[in-house]
Each structure stands twice: as structure tokens, then as C-alpha cells.
Amino acid sequence: MLTTAALMFGPFKQHAHVCVSHGHTYPSWTETEQPARDTIPTPRFDPPPPPAYTANRTTMTASPRFHCHFRCHVDRHVRLVRTAIIAACPSIAAALVMVCGMVLSERAHAALSTTDDPASVRAALDAATRGPRSEFERLSALLAEHPLRVWIDYAELHGRLDRAEESSVSAFLDRYPDQPASELLRTAWLQQRLARSDWSGFLRNYRGSDRLDLRCGHVLARLRTGATTAATAVGSAANGSAARESTAADFDWSAEVEALWLHGRSMPNACDAPFAELAARGRLDDALRWQRFDLAAEAGQPGLMRFLAGSLTETARTRALDYVRFLEQPDSAVGAWPRDARSRRIAVLGLTRLARRDPDRAESLSAEIAPALQLDADATGQIAHAIALWSAAGYRPETARRMAAVPRPQQDDQLLRWRLREALAREHDADALAALLAVPAEQRATGSRWRYYEARLRERAGEHEAARALYADAARHADFFGFLAADRIDRPYALCPLSPSDDDRLRQRMAAHPGLARALALFDLDRPGWAELEWRAALTGLTDAERIEAVRLARAAGWYDRALFALDRHPDELRYYRLRFPLPFPRTIREHAERHELDPAWLAAQIRAESAWMPQARSSADARGLMQILPGTGRDLARTLGLPWPGSAALDRPLFNITLGSAYLRQQLDAFGGRPHLAIAAYNAGPTPVRRWQAARGGLDPDLFIETIPFHETRDYVARVLAFAVIYDWRLHDRAVPISERLAGKVPARPTRAIVCPSPESTATP
């Protein structure tokens, strides 16, 4: 039975609640390992950050929990008392552990009575939405000065928005101007005004928006209040709308409705009446209808095209419906079409889309339609590009001929890559090299991919000196192809890590940043949507150093995916490897890697590629958790392993997810003969397509097989996991298993490839 303290101290509190609510006592594999936060003294782990002090205790209550803050409050990282705190500040560790232990024990058994307790905020948010009202009022008074008070007030007001007075909403917006919570509440209030046909109330609170539903609501509210001209708009603004910031005289109702009309997809219902009024005023003529029809065609929206055709004149309607039919099922019956730009564009769109599913049919139809509609070179080139591209993606025998038929202006990077892949799949090195050399020289000089493959092809042709020089150039890059190139010439891997600034004042300033503190506190409270809004707002206007420090704070709080989204402004930011490649559960990784005879670096790389270490990551296909396991797959795996299946929510538990995911990875490795690149591909795409690719091209060398994987996502995924494994080897061992050995299924007991940060000159020549 879990104690109250265990519930409060658990790193993923909702997991403990699940155990209690279901009345189960799960075996040891469900008890969550505390995230290491990169502070456990394992080789290559980061040293704990230096202390960040602040005199403002109110600010500190929502700041991330640095190892030397010593606030001793009840939170989900209490094991840092015996690990990170000791490592960070050994000189005072014993005293702090004693003091913190006393305070924690007292708090764990006391009623919520302090603003420094996250449980108070959680309880206030729960009471705000579910009651009782008396409990909310008590906690609200207790948390009057809390940094998250804005979200507590938001939760309370949003929970009763359907019966709230406008004065309450206005008071909230005035109290918290320019905060994410205010924009969220304003949007909800405006949507409610629309639903209740409160047009004046909508106009009093509208401040402009990028949301189509609110923009449609704005023109609808103007229409319903009669404010559709500059004069009436001024009058409306003068009647009870003193808070309105936009200049009503600048508003041109018809022009705004026309702008909304010209969208290639269906619009919100609030636009229906304004569109009808625009038509009644004679502003919505056939020209505008055709414009939207064209936009819908480009967006691939035949339903909207058919709807728009219904409002055209009879002759135009017949032609429009013929266009829709052609896009859905192209044929050669285009003789009655006018030889104009629209007919030609529809022909191009229809044939290029047909090429994706049937390039043979697209080629034969193109030969008939191009002369009939007098398609120009650009149009026929677009069609030829699509036919060649999808022929290559399907590795059809006609690909080489179709590639040669694509005019030079249409031979873009995408097509050239597929020309190379198709030639590699045929094992025709001369064609592959010709495809590669067709890439402009300045493009081949960027990155490592082109140089690696040119080196491979020249090496196979016996041009060893040229190949070695190209390998050396590619090996300067810390990526999949750079590492492969280093293996080819037996060079160390090039990895030049950067570390965040050790500026104490910067750390203090960012730890006290109100928006960032709110974001991290909300994340800790399992409010990811609100946390994301605060994070985005907080990063606006930060310097590069401040932004990097914000990522470091997020990593310390367990918000690991922030590095993926925030370290992208400059290429060098990719070198913050310790921020971008955390290792929160090292013991778990090692245990399960050993159990399934996998190496820890590979397992860590798989998790990093799948979820960026976010335990509650969820895909559009409902894959869940660290290793992105589908509930059905998870249930089957649990049965195979002899484990109980607590339900889909259990996949959010790190240990349970890694238990299943590592077993599944081992299954795929066994199913594909111990070849890691095939197992990784199967983990991403499923075993069925991988068996199909293996049957067609299984004789290729592993690096060439990876390049010929038809699925873009899977092709990049395999390369990404293998490159990530190198970085995790570096983090764990200071050396790496060579990718070439890993691809051969030969993983030594200890990594053997040295990792260095070379000077440019040291690798510029062989």
C-alpha cells in the first residue's frame, strides 16, 4: 500500500494515484525510477549545476528546483536530497539532509498550509474546477501572492464562464494583461459570445486574431450590429466600447469578408452569414467564386470545389464539375475544355496526383492531354517530375528512362536524391555516380551525405585516393554520414560539445524570470498545455544565452524536449549535446539493455528518437510513452512477458514502458537475424514493409539499404537512431561502438571508437 508520502514524493504522481485507485499492488517493475537529472555520478554525466541564489522567496516557489536551492519543499524530486544535493554541495550536505528530512516529514503529514507546497496549487486548481467553493476560497486566500495565481484565477473563472459576468472577465484581463492565460480566457469568452449571439459583447472584447473562427465571428458581429461600413463602425465603437483598441474607422467590412472568402478549405460556420451578405451586395461574383475554386483545387479539396460549383452559372457549373471529376479520376476526356490557364492547371494537378498512385497511367494520359491542352514546357516538366519521382519511390523498372525525361529546371534536390537511390538499388554504380554529380557542386559541398556517397562510389570504382579525401571531409561532421565516413578511414569520431554559460548572474536572472518560472511550475503540475503557452511567451525576446539557460533549467526540471524546439536558431546550437541528449533513467536503461542483450546506448537512442524522454508523449496514432508503444502492442507484449496489463495509461510509466519497449526491440532484432538497421526500421514502420524491402534489396550493404528505404520517415529514423547511439556511447563511455560494427551486429563489450574534437585543419586532408 502506498503511503501519503509516497504519493506526494513520486516523480510521476499520477502513477501512484492509478495504483491506489485500482486497488492493485504491482510488482517491482512498476515502481518508477527517479529521473537521474544527469546528476548520478556515472561516467560522462554532467556535474550538478552551481547554486543559483535569489533573495525573493515568492519567486523561488515557482522556479525550477536546482540542487542547491535547498527549499526542502514537498515535490517529486525528493531523492535529490541524497544524490544531487550531496554531489552539488558536499560541505553542507549532512546538515541539509537532516533539516530537509525533518521538514519533509512534517509537511508530508500536515494539512496544506504553505504557498511553498505545489500540492496546495494542485488542490486549488482542482477546487477551482470541481469544488467545493469553500475549499477554493480558502486556498485562494492562502495563495494570494503565488506566481501561479494567474492560472488559479483562470481555472476558477473558466470553470464558471457560462455564467460569468462580463465585468469578471474584464477584471481578469485588466489584472493580467499580455499574459498567456489572458489570451486563452479572451478566446474562450469570445467563442462563448458567438455561441450566444452576443454580438456587442463580442465586439467589446475582440482585439484582432489569427484564428479563423474569431475573424469570422468579427465580421458576423459587425453584420448583426449593422456595423458594416466605416460610419456605422465608428458609431458602434462609440457606443459602449471604450476599451476597444483597434480603430473602427479603418474597418472595411466587405474587404475583410472577401479576404476570408479566399481560403482553399471550408471555413467556420460563423462565416456563412457574412458570405451570404457579401453575395447579396453583389460583391461575390463568379470571379471570386472561381478564385476560391482554384485555391480549393490546389489544396486538394474536391468537396469544397463541388460546393462552389453549385453556385456558378449553369455553363460554368458544368465545367467546374468536370474539373472536379478529373481531379478525382483523371481521364483523357478534356477535349471540350477551354485552352486557358485554369484548364491547364487542373490537368497538371490531376496528373501529378495520379502519378503518386499510378505513374504508368499518368504517363500515358500525359501524352494525350499535353498536346490537347497545349501544355507548356513548365507544365509538362512538373508532370514528368511527378511521374519520375513516384516511379523511383516504387523502384519501378522504367525509372531511369523517366528520370532522363525530366527537364533540367525540374531536377530539384528531391528528385536527384531519388535518382541516386534508384541507381543504388539497381547496384549500378555508374548511374549512381552520374546522378550524384548532377547535383550542383556547391550543394554537394554542404553537409556530409553527398560526399559520403561520392566517396563510396569512387572507392568501389577503385579511386581510393579521391575516396579517402572525400571521406576525410565528410568525417568532420557529427552525424550519421560523418560517422560512417570516419569508420571507412579508421578515424576518431568528430564531436565538439558546447556547454551552457557558467555565468552565475545569468542563472540567477533566468531562475527568477516570472514567465519561465510559471512554465516550469506548470509542467511540474502536469499542466503541459498551459506550460507550453508560458514557455513560448517566456522565450520571446530572450538573448541566445538566456534561451540556452532556459533550456538548461527545463532539463533540470525533467522537461527534456525543450532542447529540441529551442536550440534551433543557429547551427552551433546542435552541439549542446548534454542538453539535447539527456539520460534520465540510467539504471533502468542498463538493466533492460542487459536483460535483452542490447547495448544501453542503442536503447537510449531509441527512446530519444521516439519521445525525447517525455514519459507522456502521445502520437497521432495513439502510440504512448517513452518508447511510443501502441496500446494493443503493449497488451500483447505484457502477456508475452507474463506481466499484468493495467491498461493503456500504464504506458506513461517509464519503467513499464521501457520494460515492454526493450522487449519489443529485442523481438525485432531476433526476427531480422540480428541486424540492427532492420530492427530499427521495423520498430518504426512495422515488420511487414521491412520484409518487403528486404526481399527486394536485402543484398545491399546496410548503409546503402538504409538510403533506399522508400519511407522518408523511416529512412531518416534509422539514421537518426544510429547517430544518437554514438552520442549516448560518448555520454556513457567517452568512446563509441563504430556504426559499421553496429550495422554488422557486432557490438563489443566496450566501445572502441575514439571521440575527439578535431581542429578543421586536422581533418581537411587525409
Active site residues: 610
How far apart, in Å, are the Cα atoms of 669 and each of 521, 628, 691?
Answer: 41, 17, 13
- Among residues 695, 498, 720, 517, the alpha carbon closest in space to that of 604 is found at 720
Distance (Å, whole) CA 227 – CA 237 = 9
C-alpha cell at position 661:
519497449
For residue 569, give every residue at least 6 positions away whose Cβ sits within 8 Å of its Cβ, in sequence order, or none. 544, 547
Q: 32 near 10, Cβ under 8 Å?
A: yes
Write down the residue that cell numbers 471529376 correspond to.
325
- Strands laid side by side in the 735-736 sheet: 493-494, 753-756, 735-736
Residue with cell 575516396: 467
Report the run of H or E that residue 558 belongs to, with start and end.
none
Angle at 46 between CA 43 and CA 51, to 5 degrees: 140
**Which residue stretches of 92-241 are H helix?**
93-108, 118-130, 133-142, 149-159, 166-175, 180-195, 199-205, 212-224, 230-238
Q: Name the H helices within 647-711.
A: 654-671, 676-685, 687-697, 702-707
Give the number of C-alpha atoms closer than 13 A to the C-alpha of residue 538, restricted to the C-beta side.
28
Q: E strand or H helix at 494, and its extent?
A: strand 493-494
Angle at 270 between CA 269 and CA 274, to 5 degrees: 115
What the block records as the C-alpha cell of 196 is 450566444
Cα atoms found within 13 Å of the Cα of residue 724, Cβ hemisphere only: 22
Strands 493-494 and 735-736, by their bridges, are unpaired
